[in-house]
Structure 1
Amino acid sequence: MLFPYIYVPHQMEKMQEFIDFIFYEVWCKTPTSGPFGLNLFDGKAELREVMEAFYYSDAQSAYFFYGHVERIYSLFSALLPPQISQFQHWYQGNNDLEKICANDPTAHLARYSEITVDYPTLSAQLASFFKGLYSQSLLGLAALKAKIGEIDDHYQAFVQVNKAGKRPFCGMADLQGEYHSTREAYDHYLPKALYPFNSINLHNLVPACHHCNSSYKTSKNPAYMPKDPARAANRRKVFYPYANMPRAIELRVELQHADIEHLTPAEITLHFGPEDISEEIDTWRNVYGIEERYKAKFCAENDGKYWLMQVLDEWQEGGKTPADFLATLAQQATKRPYAECNFLKRPFLEACRQIGLLDSP
């Protein structure tokens, strides 16, 4: 990830507060709470109002929400205290996104596949509920929307703060901003198909372009490496999308020959740094197809080849030497690295210089 997003607090966070209450104060307290009823939500007045509205509603999404909360309550009532404690550890761990991304061993990360081993029926109900939470038909219900606001409003607040203009997962595509009539889709960074408990947590929801989300990330699991029999454990570190301390990615490009017109991706080598975040970088490269996408850009007629032509044209026609061009580009890349893909243009042209393409005739 080239740079982190700035997290933007919003009224939508209240939905996660509702789910926290349902989990800790309703489901986890089944041994002492008696039969399921609206009284169980008295400790959270706004949620009580929502549940009451859903109870009397004919809307399918209202029935979905209320019915799942009740059914899961019934399944939790059969659990023993140590089992409930285990679920609490899983819930807390899956919602501590920063620790998960850092592969902190104190975060008890849980997947549906692991829960299913001992709790198949409960796992199925949790999966149905949490996969369905991030649904416009549910979030758009008047009783709920009045409490939590709308995701479109969050996006408008988000782009007012996140002004880089590019998407941090690739750095190439524009982020649809305040002057667009549409918005980016929110990607579940930890896929909701694999992980329970965090599908409505804003820390796990990140705007991402179609190429990053649907073409490359798809169903990949950022927290785990692809299966490798040679590894005892396959958990891995991954960039936290809302990190407070941004880290600059270093990129060096090597070209195997000077025939740019016939350059292929196989003849390009990319070196990423710094070394102290190499694991996070490797995860990012794997999940978002970074090597393929950057190499393709270097080989493209209107990108890498055009960048080289710019230098040569300014040298021949404007008297601006390649050294002058690269010096100016270095300044631009420092101030605006993602404008005109300067973070890619500069290392590519430096690689061209290394193999003599910018030498004096």
Structure 2
Amino acid sequence: MWYFYNEFENEELEGLINQINSVFTNIFSAVVFEYPSWMNEIKLKSDFEEFKGAFELSQPEEREKLANAFSKNIQVENVCNMTVDPVSYEDLLNGSSEDFVRCVSILKTIQDYLYDNLLKLKGLVEKVGTLKNYYDEFRVESIEYVCPFCGIGPMLTSKDKFREAFDHYLPRSKYPFVSLLRKNLFPICHTCNSTYKGDKNPRDYGKVFYPFMRNDNDCEPVFTIRTGVIENIEITSQHFHDEVETWDKVFDIKDRIKNFAEDNLSGWMSNVTEAVGLYYVDLETAKNAEIERCKSNKMQDHKFIKKAVLEAL
């Protein structure tokens, strides 16, 4: 990633997610509990009741396996840094009883409902807002002009009618308990989401960036340019070598940045040569001045790529 998302508070959505996760915890703990009042008249409660019945009929080791999957899969940061291995639907179903297969099938229905339908219900929309509302907040609080995964694609603003899709970093089709989980849910540009990542599971490729890392991001593109031709690009980082490799495998970042730079190289150079004639300075002075201008708001107007290209000339 070229930059990390800022964590920000959203008490209403976080409270809703915590209530849902509490229902799962109570079912796994086999305690008597009451559903949140907002669930009483919606499909989700009947799905949970059906899930609870199938869970109780499953074998003890299967119940333990599912509770363990819940405990692991909600630890998105630890899954990303490979200190926790997530548990997939496939892992759960391997050698399972008929009751447990039914239990997992109902769980999948619940997970789909949570993301696809829950935040469209009128009562919850009034209290929590829609995913569009969440995107608008995300856009203001945490996005720097362009998609952090490619650094190229612009992101729809909070004033636009539509929003960018939220990516499930750990794919909801592969893993339970991650479909409505804030740490696993963030917007990326359409090209990254639909064309490159799709349903890829980043953990299949190695250690991955945790999108809400609190570390300083030192990822930089470095070009090799000879006689005006870009021959190569590398992404340097002292801290995130393994994450960079996975990032490139999933999103094809190096080729995309190289292609973008090639398309813009002549235009960026013309900016420099125009400054030579306008300010009566030599080419090197004009180039260094343009590099300095690229250091502020570096994600705006793709200045971080322009800077790297000019430094390689």
What residue is the counterpart of 1:89 in the other structure?
Answer: 68
Q: Secondary structure at the residue paired with 1:334?
A: coil
Offset from partner CA, 1:154-198 (integer Å, 9 cap, x none): 223223322522221111222223333332221111111111101
What residue is the counterpart of 1:127 in the other structure?
Answer: 108
8 Å contact from structure 1 (residues 250, 274) kept in 2:
yes
What residue is the counterpart of 1:242 in the other structure?
Answer: 212
How far apart are the structure 1 equivalents of 2:283 and 2:79? 45
Cα gap change, 1:127 to 1:142, in 2 (>3 Å)? same
How far residue 346 of structure 1 moved from its aligned partner, in angstroms, is 1.6
Match status 1:309 vs 2:286: no
What residue is the counterpart of 1:199 in the other structure?
Answer: 179
Match status 1:117 vs 2:97: no
How many residue pairs were aligned? 308
How far apart are the structure 2 equivalents of 1:349 and 1:331? 11
How far apart are the structure 2 equivalents of 1:68 and 1:95? 21
Q: Percent identity?
A: 24
8 Å contact from structure 1 (residues 12, 151) kept in 2:
no
Offset from partner CA, 1:232-284 (integer Å, 9 cap, x none): xxxx21111111223121221013x42x4xx5xxx621121224311111111
How far apart are the structure 1 equivalents of 2:158 and 2:126? 23
Offset from partner CA, 1:320-344 (integer Å, 9 cap, x none): 3332233223323332211221211
User: Which amino acid is the alignment partner of residue 8 of structure 2?
Assistant: V
Structure-to-structure mapping, 1:163-242, within 5 angstroms:
164-225=144-205, 236-242=206-212
What residue is the counterpart of 2:2 in the other structure?
Answer: 2
8 Å contact from structure 2 (residues 164, 187) kept in 1:
yes
What residue is the counterpart of 2:122 in the other structure?
Answer: 142
1:269 to 232, 239, 248: 232
How far apart are the structure 1 equivalents of 2:287 and 2:175? 46
Structure-to-structure mapping, 1:281-300, within 5 angstroms:
281-300=244-263
Larger radius of gyration: 1
Cα gap change, 1:321 to 1:195, in 2 (>3 Å)? farther
How far apart are the structure 1 equivalents of 2:251 and 2:242? 14
8 Å contact from structure 2 (residues 147, 189) kept in 1:
yes
Q: Secondary structure at the residue paired with 1:200?
A: coil
How far apart are the structure 2 equivalents of 1:147 and 1:86? 34
8 Å contact from structure 1 (residues 14, 148) kept in 2:
no
How far apart are the structure 1 equivalents of 2:179 and 2:293? 39
How far residue 316 of structure 1 moved from its aligned partner, in angstroms, is 4.3
Q: CA-atom RMSD, angstroms?
A: 2.1
Structure 2 residue runs without a partner (length 5+): none
8 Å contact from structure 1 (residues 2, 249) kept in 2:
yes
